[in-house]
Amino acid sequence: KNEVEQSPQNLTAQEGEFITINCSYSVGISALHWLQQHPGGGIVSLFMLSSGKKKHGRLIATINIQEKHSSLHITASHPRDSAVYICAVRSSGGSNYKLTFGKGTLLTVNP
C-alpha cells in the first residue's frame, strides 16, 4: 500500500462545477504539497502546507494533521484546469527533503 493515497483516480466535471480531490497519508509528515501536471508534461507546485488552509485564486488546499488527510478544491472549474493533480508528503522522520508522491488524480473539465 502506497504511503500516499489519492481519490478519485479520475474525475470528469462540467465547467463551473466545484471540484474536490482527496489525499490520505499514513506517515507523520512535516509538510504536504499539491502539484499540477499539465497535459504537456510540465509540473507546477500549487501549495505547500503543514496546517490549516491556503487559498490561491480559485484553488483552496486544506489539511487535517490529526486525520492525516488533505483536500484540494477548485471553485468554478474551467477546461484549463484539466490536468493531473498530485499530492506529495514530506515525512517528519528521515530526510527532511524527500517527497513521497501519490499516483495523481486526472481531472477533465468539459466545456
Partner 1 sequence: DTAVSQTPKYLVTQMGNDKSIKCEQNLGHDTMYWYKQDSKKFLKIMFSYNNKELIINETVPNRFSPKSPDKAHLNLHINSLELGDSAVYFCASSQASTKQFFGPGTRLTVL
From 37, 62, 71, 82, residue interacting with partner 1 (rule: CB under 8 A): 37
CA terminus-to-terminus distance, the chain: 36
Find the shortest distance in angstroms from Cβ 98 to partner 1. Answer: 5
Number of residues counted as binding partner 1 (CB under 8 A): 24
By CB under 8 A, residue 13 contacts partner 1: no
Q: Does 38 bind partner 1 (CB under 8 A)?
A: no
Query: Quick one: which of 86, 89, 107, 109 contacts partner 1 (CB under 8 A)?
Result: 86
How many angstroms separate the Cα of 87 from the Cα of each of 30, 35, 62, 83, 110?
14, 6, 12, 13, 23
List all residues 6 or more positions away from 37 whose beta carbon is below 8 Å from its beta carbon. 43, 44, 83, 84, 85, 86, 104
Site for partner 1, rule CB under 8 A:
30-31, 33, 35, 37, 41-45, 48, 84, 86, 88, 90, 95-101, 103-104
